[in-house]
Amino acid sequence: MKTDIQKEFSFILKQKNNKARRGEITTSRGKIQTPAFMPVGTAATVKALKNQDILASGAEIILGNVYHLMLRPGADLIEKMGGLHSFMNWQKPILTDSGGFQVMSLSKIRKINDEGVCFSSHIDGSKHLLTPEKSIAIQHQLDSDITMIFDECVAYPATYEQAKKAVERSNAWAIRCKQAFIPRSGYALFGIVQGSTYQDLRQRSAKALIDIGFDGYAVGGLAVGEGQQAMFSVLDYACDLLPENAPRYLMGVGKPADIVGAVARGIDMFDCVIPTRSGRTGQAFTSNGVVNIRNSKYRGSTRSLDENCNCDACTNHSVGYLQHLVKANEILGSMLLSQHNIFYYQKLMQDIRQSIENGTFGEFASQFFDSAQI
């Protein structure tokens, strides 16, 4: 059931520490403290986690995806079952990615033109056409609290002409997305800045989006192989191109160090599959660095995975037991490590927010990087 449905979508910038920002987003389904990390629930589930585990971690918003949900189980079915919140029994906010990145990275065959993208499903090869209007319509069927525009995301490396063409097409699609979006109290539509690693193209993209007018702005087309330093170089100027009074979302990022570095450059929102994907492969992020639980040194260890974490894996189980589960390919091992990683990420965001409030984010970031946490 929706709560506070009459509340308008809003973003309040509460405090700044150099470029790092402490804010609060209000949606019809609740508030989101920023900087925020959104666990990725691509196919209406955050892999290996129950909703109560996600809530217990402190997460206030999760992410779903148009591409995956339109293919399976289908937007019509989800709408018939009351929308994505009812379908997966998650009553806090949901942001949905428009599918632009997935048709580039996952589809077996795709043909793109100014109308949209015709692609073959990576699941069964069936053919589909995704246009700006259809992407927005699907997100409306899903009842997404934050809808993302449909854009063209180019792979890295991209030539200047390839990136320029994608920016021009994405700008045209942004207008169509804005026209197709149905404004509702507490709901939002975000634009996506493209341009690869070319500063003038990023500037052109951002200006066009601001002229159209969106509730928030994402930086897309990064974390696609360019490396951390190249990504940071883009963020050094990209955040300054965006309005101060709107949330800024870095799509698909990332490792803990990527997040800390991006917050330092002015980013407010993040999402990434890394916490749960790493959990399923036996990797844990801890306050003492990254742990590969398969390492033989953890065999028989009775210590906690992370003394600074209050997740189930850390409070109720030993490292030795977790290693046994992972090496035996027991499903519980994936569940516990994925849960731990989501808890770690949410604790990281809490610490970041607190340091910005205290005016000590610079010291926090320096200590973080000095400790070699990745």
**What is 10-271's CATH number, 3.30.559.10, 3.40.1190.20, 3.20.20.105, 3.10.20.70?**
3.20.20.105
Identify whether 271 is a catalytic site residue: yes
Residue 180: partners with Cβ closer than 8 Å, 6 or more residues away: 132, 133, 136, 137
Cα distance from N-terminal residue to C-terminal residue, the chain: 39
Helix, strand, coil fractions of the chain, as percent rounded to 5 = 45, 20, 40
Return per-residue pLDDT of the chain as tens, 374 residues. 444 445 799 999 999 999 999 999 999 999 999 999 999 999 999 999 999 999 999 999 999 999 999 999 999 999 999 999 999 999 999 999 999 889 878 776 789 999 999 999 989 999 999 999 999 999 999 999 999 999 999 999 999 999 999 999 999 999 999 999 999 999 999 999 999 999 999 999 999 999 999 999 999 999 999 999 999 999 999 999 999 999 999 999 999 999 999 999 999 999 999 999 999 999 999 999 999 999 999 999 999 999 999 999 999 999 999 999 999 999 999 999 999 999 999 999 999 999 999 999 999 999 999 986 55
Residue type, 151: D
Provide the whole-model pTM. 0.96
Catalytic residue among 151, 215, 258, 271: 271
Classify each residue of 242-264 as buried b or exposed e, where b means 16 or more C-beta atoms within 10 Å of its C-beta. beeebbbbbbbbbbbebbbbbbb
Identify whether 97 is a catalytic site residue: yes
Tokens representing 43 are 């196919």
Taking the C-alpha atoms of residue 48 and residue 124, their distance in angstroms, rounded to an integer, is 24
- Please work out, in degrees rounded to the nearest 5, the angle formed at the alpha carbon of residue 351 by the alpha carbons of 349 and 352: 60
Taking the C-alpha atoms of residue 116 and residue 205, their distance in angstroms, rounded to an integer, is 18
Q: Structural domain boundaries of the chain?
A: 10-271, 273-363
**Within its chain, how far is the Cα of 20 from the centroid?**
18
